[in-house]
Amino acid sequence: MQKLTVLGATGSIGISTLAVVEANPEQFSIYALTGHSQVKKLVEQAVKFRPEVIVVGSADLAKEARTLVEQHQLNVEIEFGEQALERVASAEGVDTVVAAIVGAAGMRSCLAAARASKRILLANKEALVMSGQLFIDEVKKYNACLLPVDSEHNAIFQSLPLDYQQGYLDKSIEDYGVTSIILTGSGGPFRETALEDLPFKTPKQACAHPNWSMGQKISVDSASMMNKGLEFIEACYLFGVSPDFIEVLIHPQSVIHSMVRYQDGSVLAQMGQPDMKTPIAHTMAWPKRITSTVEPFDFVKCSGFTFQAPCQERYPNLYLAKEAFRQGQEVTTVLNAANEEHVDRFLKGQIAFTDIAKYNARILEKLSPQKACNLTDILEIDKQARSLAHELLN
């Protein structure tokens, strides 16, 4: 039986993870569930999954949780704050940590899990984009096991030989005859919107993804294709490849979740319903398989597969991300921080949809970060980028 800590349990990935746990009760038990602001939902999850610990965002929220826990006569420890997240991510007895906090807020707990040699199921792509090689190096140093939950990276991982998958961070995919990785993306809800209408798109429209049901931040990133940009960087780190090794392809149906080309002309793809329970279940059971409760994909009912190349005018954020990776780790930290700030402002109705990329570019232009040699440097660069974003917006 694997014991899990689910970081970000109250979010979209967290909820899907718990659905997979519920479908496989004999294989998983829960040590800790963490949320941030949704205390009621977290306590409801605790009633059902009986963790030993729950973590919320602040002392006040912990008080609120205490009242609810007492009403349910539940025996669970209640903690709050960043250190508590690190503690439950590294606690003795925990086998697997599901990293599903959104944004840079999840980075420290991801690192704590790596340093405690856990099996890390990584959904929190911003943590990897922000800390890059430093995070990968910690995973290797402490012999942790990092498995990609993000559907594209999970698809790439599944399309590579098992021999490569075992200890993949130390191997070269070129040694396995791979010639390129094809990262697919739906193109988001504005794929066919007239360019001149993009500035008027609302948060609600941006969050209405045609295929996937996700949290707000990643939904906006999908609409601007910053999500694909972050995934491009994520793929470079996870599979140890240079930007030239990755092709980005729009595939509006979101059935092929990514592909791998081999030197003999073969292209291997992983396909299925656009439902995160599949990659989550895959990482939970790897190298075995378990049920995920996802319906089998019906090829006869599907409308066909189409593909197109992304266009820079529509998706400037994708190109900013590629360029940031070429410039180095520090620049991807800056871009991630700037993007988080600008998406937040867009969701609050303070800037236009097209301002996100425009302002991200402005921060990249104005800030020349120092070299990041350790976590402290990274946190400092992240802070500088956010302060500059605030300053320029105010």
Q: Which residues bind ligand NDP (CB under 6 A)?
A: 8-14, 35-38, 57, 100-102, 105, 123-126, 150, 212, 214-218, 276
CA distance 348 to 340: 12
Q: Decide which of ligand NDP, Mg ion, none touches 125; Cβ closer than 5 to 8 Å per partner kind.
A: ligand NDP
Q: Decide which of Mg ion, ligand NDP, none touches 293; Cβ closer than 5 to 8 Å per partner kind.
A: none
Q: Are 236 and 181 in contact (CB under 8 A)?
A: no
58: phi then psi, degrees, rounded to nearest 5:
-150, 170
Q: Partners of 268 in the beta sheet?
A: 260
CA distance 32 to 42: 11
- Kindly tell me which of 151 and 278 has the beta carbon lying closer to Mg ion: 151
Q: Rule CB under 5 A: say whether 150 interacts with Mg ion.
A: yes
- What is the smallest separation between the CB atom of 209 and Mg ion, expressed in angstroms? 11
- Kindly tell me which of 173 and 225 has the beta carbon lying closer to Mg ion: 225
- Kindly tell me which of 248 and 261 has the beta carbon lying closer to ligand NDP: 248
Q: Rule CB under 5 A: say whether 86 interacts with Mg ion.
A: no
CA distance 337 to 289: 36
Q: Are 364 and 338 in contact (CB under 8 A)?
A: yes
- Kindly tell me which of 37 and 350 has the beta carbon lying closer to ligand NDP: 37
- Kindly tell me which of 102 and 337 has the beta carbon lying closer to ligand NDP: 102
Stretch that binds Mg ion, among 145-153, 235-243, 343-351, 381-389 (CB under 5 A): 145-153
DSSP string, 187-239: --TTTTS-GGGGGG--HHHHH--SS----HHHHHHHHHTHHHHHHHHHHHHHT
Strand, helix or coil at 90? helix
| Residues sharing a CB contact under 8 Å with residue 30, sequence separation 6 or more, in sequence order | 3, 4, 5, 6, 21, 49, 50, 51, 52
Residues of span 171-210 touching Mg ion by CB under 5 A: none
Stretch that binds Mg ion, among 39-47, 76-84, 131-139, 144-152 (CB under 5 A): 144-152
Q: Are 332 and 375 in contact (CB under 8 A)?
A: no
Site string for Mg ion, 276-295 (x = CB under 5 A): --------------------
Stretch that binds Mg ion, among 138-146, 147-155, 282-290, 329-337 (CB under 5 A): 147-155
- What is the smallest separation between the CB atom of 48 and ligand NDP, expressed in angstroms? 16
Q: Are 7 and 85 in contact (CB under 8 A)?
A: yes
- Kindly tell me which of 111 and 214 has the beta carbon lying closer to Mg ion: 214
CA distance 373 to 378: 8
- What is the smallest separation between the CB atom of 320 and ligand NDP, expressed in angstroms? 17
Q: Which residues bind Mg ion (CB under 5 A)?
A: 150-152
